[in-house]
Amino acid sequence: MSAPDPQPSGLPGGLPRRRSFFQSTADMLRQEGARAGIIAVVSTVVFFGGGFLLVVNSPNWPRVRDQFFNPEDFRESWPDVLDGFWLNIELFVYSMLTIPVVALIVAVMRSLRGPAFFPIRLLAVIYTDIFRGIPLILLILLLGFGVPALDIDGLPNSSTFWGMVALVLSYSAYTAEIYRSGIDAVPESQRSSARALGLTQWQSLRFAILPQAIRNVVPALMNTVVSLQKDVALIAVLGVRDAVREAQIYTTRTFNYTSYVVAAVLFLALSIPLTRFVDWYVARDRAQRSQTLV
Amino acid sequence: MTAKLEIRDVHKSYGDKVVLDGMSFDVDEHEVVCLIGPSGSGKSTLLRCIDLLDPLDAGSIRLDGIDITARNTDANAVRRRVGIVFQSYNLFPHLSVLDNCTLGPRRALGVDRKSADAKARELLERFGLGDKVEEYPNRISGGQNQRAAIVRALMADPEILLLDEVTSALDPELVGEVLGVIRELAGRGMTMLLATHEMGFARDVADRVCFLHEGRVLEDAPPSQLFGSPQHERTAQFLRRVRDAGRI
Ligand SMILES: Nc1ncnc2c1ncn2[C@@H]1O[C@H](COP(=O)(O)OP(=O)(O)O)[C@@H](O)[C@H]1O
Ligand SMILES: [Mg+2]
């Protein structure tokens, strides 16, 4: 090897070369080295194989296998559970698009300064306190059954809709706090600088503070998305026919629990790639941030 | 004739701590006034108050004879007439040097992008940043950051420029380029009020030097007099200490 390169994987400018998700996973394996690789494989086989044997040889395994992992029931329940899962995905996508917006509005309301804005700040505080304070499942039950029962003219009447509203309200309260921590992390001097340019309070937030704040919290926001993806399953408590509810219906009919495993598999199929992507993104973000000159 | 900027019996406390305790002085048009004094003597606070970033407790500040600390003042209008540059340059990290300079004019003054860009490029060019226009603040040196921050403050054609120890956060070898910019501005007749620890520079460039002590102006004189034969023991003491620290 020649003289040590201070930045082996860097471009001349010093920015880290962009690694795709798959490249970086492959890199990770390569870095472990051949010997380490063998050890890893052997210990993995021993660990998981041992665990597997332990389960399979337990006295009740045959019964459990038939009840939870029955291939026939898997095949039979799959179409209905998958059908329900599309509803989960729909809920997930709609709330994922709504939550950041609602949350940002609440966070901005809360960070306005000056006595004139006191009522707006108060409103934002009440909002976050209430919706962070009520367990999500309760909120879904209250809104999902409560609002349609009121039968107000002009308001949607579907439980699914109000269940999603509950999801959005609750998640927005948490997400607003994430934004707020991001806003607070922007140095006060940045606000002074913006105001000194003659920008109004709102312009300062919009053009100087929020872009930095949002950048600060993207990793935290993405982790929220991962947990949202699972919490959409709570909508099942309203009797809405999502994946969980469909699985439940199958179980009630056949006394076989394999349909729950089907639902779990479907959620995993979505959440594992999502989690891997978020981890990769956060790591990349951290690397980029530690690469500044000043 | 009234002075460009009149500081009149200004008082300001943070909690129990009195920071400005009856400060008064003037800055005339085209004049360069340096504020010197130990840290904690209220230099930064005064400059922030002049740009209405902090409210006064009592006293008044007049710009062209008009009290800008009166309750009905449009603070944003004042801030457009007064430029300020801070010790820690505070460029916006998410914007390029060019966008840092044009943000204020475009959003606060309603200047269109094209003419704001043209003006910023011209000023950046003049202060040796012609090739850094598209760079981001974390990719250029501290001195370049600070020069860009000065350009940003100049974009609105301020009538007076406030500079708060703009070289204190810089590595020593970068101080000269920033002082050079200020010197050029002084040469062009820019009215400036600057807090500084660079005594040699103050002696060179200032028309008057004010020595602050415990929230008041203890001595206000031309640099030759203030540095040559200070009238107050406190001033002499401060200058001795600075000299011992090798800052003159
Ligand atoms: N926002 C603030 N809150 C409380 N105390 C402050 C604040 N800003 C400045 N001070 C205090 O006011 C005093 C004067 O500070 P400053 O104006 O920064 O002095 P200088 O710039 O001359 O060093 C210091 O003791 C400082 O601790
Ligand atoms: Mg200071």
Out of A198, A207, A212, name the one closest to residue B156 (CB): A198
Give the mean pLDDT of chain A. 86
pLDDT, tens digit (0-9, with 9 covering 90-100), for A199-257: 998 999 999 999 999 988 988 998 899 899 999 999 888 888 999 999 999 999 999 89
pLDDT, tens digit (0-9, with 9 covering 90-100), for A65-94: 888 898 888 899 899 999 999 999 999 999
Which residue range(s) make up the domain with B43? 5-90+158-244
B interface mutation test: which of A15, A193, A203 has the most B CBs within 10 A? A193
pLDDT band at A156 (very low <50, low <70, confident <90, very high): confident
Given this model, what pLDDT does residue A262 score?
92
Out of A199, A215, A294, name the one closest to residue B108 (CB): A199
The residue of chain B with its CA nearest to that of A291 is: B138
Report whether pLDDT(A9) > 80.
no
Contact A294 B51 (CB under 8 A): no
Tell me if B219 is assigned to some domain. Answer: yes
User: Helix, strand, or coil here: B124?
Assistant: helix
- CATH homologous superfamily of A84-242 equals MetI-like (1.10.3720.10)
B180, B16 Cβ separation under 8 angstroms = no
User: Helix, strand, or coil here: B180?
Assistant: helix
Residue B37, H or E segment: none
Instruction: Tell whether B58 lies on the interface with A, counting CB pairs under 8 A.
Output: no
**Exposure string for A244-269, b = 16+ CB within 10 A, e = fewer:** bbbbbbbbeeeebbbbbbbbbebbee
pLDDT, tens digit (0-9, with 9 covering 90-100), for A174-201: 999 999 999 999 999 999 999 999 999 8
Residue B228, domain CATH: 3.40.50.300
Contact A190 B76 (CB under 8 A): no
CA distances from A49 to A54, A206, B120, B168 (A): 8, 55, 67, 64
Q: Is A150 buried (19+), middle (13-18) or exposed (0-12) by CB count in 10 A? A: exposed
Tell me if B81 is assigned to some domain. Answer: yes
B94 Cβ neighbours under 8 A, 6+ residues apart? A211, A212, A215, B136
Looking up tokens 């690694």 gives A19
Given this model, what pLDDT does residue A26 score?
66
Instruction: Tell whether B104 lies on the interface with A, counting CB pairs under 8 A.
Output: yes
pLDDT band at A140 (very low <50, low <70, confident <90, very high): very high
Angstrom distance (rounded) from CA B192 to CA B195? 10
Tell me if B221 is assigned to some domain. Answer: yes
Sheet holding B208-213, edge to edge: B82-85, B160-164, B192-195, B32-36, B208-213, B216-221
CA gyration radius, chain B: 18
Given this model, what pLDDT does residue A294 score?
42
pLDDT, tens digit (0-9, with 9 covering 90-100), for B4-18: 999 999 999 999 999
Looking up tokens 């995905």 gives A89
B92, B100 Cβ separation under 8 angstroms = yes
Tell me if B29 is assigned to some domain. Answer: yes
User: What residues in A contact B86, CB-CB < 8 Å?
Assistant: 189, 192-193
Given this model, what pLDDT does residue B247 score?
59
The more confident residue out of B176 and A291 is: B176
Contact A194 B92 (CB under 8 A): yes
Report whether pLDDT(A8) > 80.
no
DSSP, res B128: T
Tell me if B238 is assigned to some domain. Answer: yes
pLDDT band at A10 (very low <50, low <70, confident <90, very high): very low
Looking up tokens 């008041």 gives B216
Angstrom distance (rounded) from CA B65 to CA B1? 9
Q: What percent of chain A has pLDDT over 70?
A: 88
A87, A160 Cβ separation under 8 angstroms = yes
Angstrom distance (rounded) from CA B210 to CA B195? 9
Instruction: Tell whether B113 lies on the interface with A, counting CB pairs under 8 A.
Output: no
- HEC string of chain A equals CCCCCCCCCECCCCCECCCCHHHHHHHHHHHHCHHHHHHHHHHHHHHHHHHHHHHHCCCCHHHHHHHHCCHHHHHHHHHHHHHHHHHHHHHHHHHHHHHHHHHHHHHHHHHCCCHHHHHHHHHHHHHHHHHHHCCHHHHHHHHHHHHHHHCCCCCCCCHHHHHHHHHHHHHHHHHHHHHHHHHHCCCHHHHHHHHHCCCCHHHHHHHHHHHHHHHHHHHHHHHHHHHHHHHHHHHHHHCCCCHHHHHHHHHHHHCCCHHHHHHHHHHHHHHHHHHHHHHHHHHHHHHHHCCCCC
Total of domains in chain B: 1
pLDDT band at A32 (very low <50, low <70, confident <90, very high): low
Given this model, what pLDDT does residue A6 score?
41
Q: What is the nearest CA distance from B238 to chain A, expressed in angstroms?
A: 29
Angstrom distance (rounded) from CA B35 to CA B43? 7
Given this model, what pLDDT does residue A12 score?
40
Angstrom distance (rounded) from CA B162 to CA B195? 8
Instruction: Tell whether A75 lies on the interface with B, counting CB pairs under 8 A.
Output: no
Angstrom distance (rounded) from CA A21 to CA A18? 9
Q: Is A31 buried (19+), middle (13-18) or exposed (0-12) by CB count in 10 A? A: exposed
pLDDT band at A16 (very low <50, low <70, confident <90, very high): very low
Nearest protein Cα to ligand 1, atom 4: B14
In ligand 1, the atom with minimum distance to the C-alpha of B47 is 17
Tell me if B112 is assigned to some domain. Answer: no
Q: What is the nearest CA distance from A120 to chain B, expressed in angstroms?
A: 22
What is the β-pairing status of strands B58-63 and B216-221? Answer: unpaired
Report whether pLDDT(A162) > 60.
yes
Residue B235, H or E segment: helix B233-244
A interface mutation test: which of B49, B94, B141, B168 has the most A CBs within 10 A? B94
Q: What is the pLDDT along chain B (248 residues), one digit of tens a residue?
A: 688 999 999 999 999 999 999 999 999 999 999 999 998 899 999 999 999 999 999 999 999 989 999 888 888 889 989 999 998 878 999 999 999 999 999 998 899 999 999 999 999 998 889 999 999 998 999 889 999 999 999 999 999 999 999 888 888 888 888 888 899 999 999 999 999 988 888 888 899 999 999 899 999 999 999 988 888 899 999 998 888 877 55
pLDDT band at A2 (very low <50, low <70, confident <90, very high): very low
Given this model, what pLDDT does residue A24 score?
64
- How far is ligand 1, taken at its centre, from the CA of residue A188, in Å? 14
ipTM score of complex: 0.89
Residue B210, H or E segment: strand B208-213
Residues in chain A: 294
Given this model, what pLDDT does residue A17 score?
53
Residues in chain B: 248
Angstrom distance (rounded) from CA B33 to CA B212? 12
Give the mean pLDDT of chain B. 91
Instruction: Tell whether B72 lies on the interface with A, counting CB pairs under 8 A.
Output: no
Looking up tokens 């008044």 gives B60
In ligand 1, the atom with minimum distance to the C-alpha of B54 is 1
Given this model, what pLDDT does residue A197 score?
93
Nearest to B58 by CA among B120, B10, B6: B10
- List the 214-243 stretch of A: residues with Cβ below 8 A of B: 215
Report whether pLDDT(A117) > 60.
yes
**Exposure string for A95-134, b = 16+ CB within 10 A, e = fewer:** bbebbbebbbebbbbbbeeeeebeeebeebeebbeebeeb
Residue B130: CB atoms within 10 Å: 12
Instruction: Tell whether B93 lies on the interface with A, counting CB pairs under 8 A.
Output: yes
Given this model, what pLDDT does residue B173 score?
82
Given this model, what pLDDT does residue A1 score?
39
**Exposure string for B160-170, b = 16+ CB within 10 A, e = fewer:** bbbbbbbbeeb
Given this model, what pLDDT does residue A18 score?
58
Tell me if B52 is assigned to some domain. Answer: yes
Contact A292 B139 (CB under 8 A): yes
Given this model, what pLDDT does residue A11 score?
38
Angstrom distance (rounded) from CA B80 to CA B152? 12
- How far is ligand 2, taken at its centre, from the CA of residue B45, in Å? 7
